[in-house]
C-alpha cells in the first residue's frame, strides 16, 4: 500500500504540470521564437506559441491554486498517506510547476531542432518526459515541498504510459491520425 501512496502523491504533486502541458495544445498566436532560425534551422519551431505558453501557465497556476485552497481548510488539510503529506502551503505551487513544464518543453524543442528533427516529429522519451523533468527541476528550487526519489522514478515510468493511453484514446476517437 506504500507504493499506492507514493504513486497517488506523485501524480497529485505533478498534476499542475500535466495540466499545463495538456492545455498548451490550445496554443495560438505568434511562435515564441518569432520565426527566427539558427544555422538554417528554426530556434523552437511553430509548435511553441505565446498563446500555448499563456494557456499552460494559467491553467497550471489555477490547478495548483485549487490544491492550495483544498489544503487550507478543505479536505486535504489533514490528509497524510503514510509519509506522504498532501498539504500545499504555497499558492504559487502550480505556477512553479507550470513554468518548469513549459520551460522543459521548450528546451526539448530547441534540442530537437538542433538535431534536425522537424516540429511535431517524435523523439521518444524526450517528448514524454521533457515537461516532467522541467517541472520537477523548478519545483525542487521554488516549492517548499517536494517528492521523494521513489516518487520521481514512478513518474518517469507512469508518465509515458499515460501519454500512450491518451494517444490511443485520441486515435480511437479519430482526433489523431497515428496511434502513438
* Binding residues vs ligand CTP (CB under 6 A): 24-25, 27, 45, 47-49, 51-53, 102, 105, 109, 112, 119-120
Toward ligand CTP, which CB reaches closer, 79 or 117?
Answer: 117
b/e string for 40-69 if b means 16 or more Cβ within 10 A?
A: eebbbbebbbeebbbbbbbbbbbbbbbbbe
Least distance between ligand CTP and beta carbon 155 (Å) = 18
Query: What does residue 72 show for φ and ψ, rounded to 5 degrees?
Result: -65, -60
Least distance between ligand CTP and beta carbon 34 (Å) = 14
Toward ligand CTP, which CB reaches closer, 9 or 42?
Answer: 42
Least distance between ligand CTP and beta carbon 45 (Å) = 5
Cell numbers linked to 7 = 504513486
Cell numbers linked to 86 = 498532501
**For 50, what's the count of Cα atoms within 13 Å in the CB-facing half-sphere?**
7
Toward ligand CTP, which CB reaches closer, 88 or 132?
Answer: 132
Least distance between ligand CTP and beta carbon 28 (Å) = 7
Amino acid at each position: 500500500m506504500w507504493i499506492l501512496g507514493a504513486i497517488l502523491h506523485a501524480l497529485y504533486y505533478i498534476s499542475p504540470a500535466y495540466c499545463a502541458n495538456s492545455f498548451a495544445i490550445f496554443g495560438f498566436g505568434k511562435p515564441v521564437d518569432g520565426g527566427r532560425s539558427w544555422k538554417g534551422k528554426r530556434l523552437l519551431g511553430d509548435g511553441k506559441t505565446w498563446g500555448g505558453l499563456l494557456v499552460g501557465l494559467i491553467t497550471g497556476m489555477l490547478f495548483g491554486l485549487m490544491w492550495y485552497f483544498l489544503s487550507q481548510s478543505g479536505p486535504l488539510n489533514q490528509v497524510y498517506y503514510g509519509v506522504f503529506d498532501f498539504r500545499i502551503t504555497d499558492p504559487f505551487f502550480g505556477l512553479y510547476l507550470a513554468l518548469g513544464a513549459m520551460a522543459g518543453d521548450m528546451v526539448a524543442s530547441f534540442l530537437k531542432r538542433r538535431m534536425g528533427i522537424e516540429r511535431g516529429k517524435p523523439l521518444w522519451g524526450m517528448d514524454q518526459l521533457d515537461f516532467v523533468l522541467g517541472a520537477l527541476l523548478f519545483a525542487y528550487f521554488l516549492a517548499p515541498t517536494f517528492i521523494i526519489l521513489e516518487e520521481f522514478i514512478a513518474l518517469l515510468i507512469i508518465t509515458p504510459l499515460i501519454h500512450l493511453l491518451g494517444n490511443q484514446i485520441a486515435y480511437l476517437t479519430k482526433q489523431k491520425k497515428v496511434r502513438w
